[in-house]
Chains A and B, each alone.
Chain A
Amino acid sequence: MSLDKTFKDFVNDFSCDTLDEWITHLATVELTYTGNSACVTCGDSVEFNWTGKLKNGLTYPQVLCEVCKSQ
């Protein structure tokens, strides 16, 4: 498959033009996400490096900080 559409997954040789298709794709393949986000419980900023299938309907993982995770 040639990756000639808007969203491209070079790891899994997939591309699509709509965000809905992209979100569906992210739920089916394991990818590694890196960045920063707010802990979904306390709101503290969390740096993450997470690998998995993204099944939350978003394009990024929702993360917990270490404190909230341990509770």
Chain B
Amino acid sequence: MVTLLRVERLRVSVGGREVLRGLDLMIRNQEVHVLFGPNGSGKSTLLATIMGLPRYEVKEGRVLLLGRDITKLKPFERAKLGIAMAFQNPPRVNVKLGYILERLVKKYDDGILNELNALGIAHLLKRNLHHGFSGGEIKRVEMLLTLLQRPRVALLDEPDSGVDVDSLNIIGKVINKLIDEGASILLVTHMGHILRYIEHVDLAHVLIDGRIVYTGEPKEVLNIVLKKGYSFFKDASRRREMYAEIEGSPKGKS
């Protein structure tokens, strides 16, 4: 399968502090990858850097989309090439959601708006985007906007944080729709709640201190995370033990 997104030796600073310290990642066409990691390990920074948000300063390395170096492209140029992101903490925008949707639909020539009712956000159309929205509403709206962009690569930053079961269910459906439409997905999740709702996940990565320290089968990785915590991955001397615990050899690198 074609390599869609490749991240090479990426070093990124935010406000002068190095957050990503030489990170490599490869996502093929239509693959779904999950990113685990403790708070502050650099998960959101990785997604924001792939999206090209300012403040995230690439010191070294590059981001390639279908072999094209996009490291210096502006966010809207990346969006045009098919990268979209569901923000973890999106800013409040002083424009009504309905108006933003109208403009997005025009831009992406989309007919997905009939999903509105299914997503349970029709009542938010006349309100300014993310102003006083509940946690679940923010996540659902972010997922809808991402879906509307018909992305090739969807970067989903903790779509399952702080939401109730009903919202989880809906968000899972949107992710499955993205998968059905052939998007590749890079999904950050804190506790892995969302995984139960997704059709398939190909690989899981563990990100610690700005590096991917482990890549493997999603269920196994989640099990270890839940059972032993991230400290288990931090201690390099226990790598062997870790491998022993996971049956078979890991697909990725350590």
Q: Are A and B interaction partners? A: no
Binding site for A on B (CB under 8 A): none
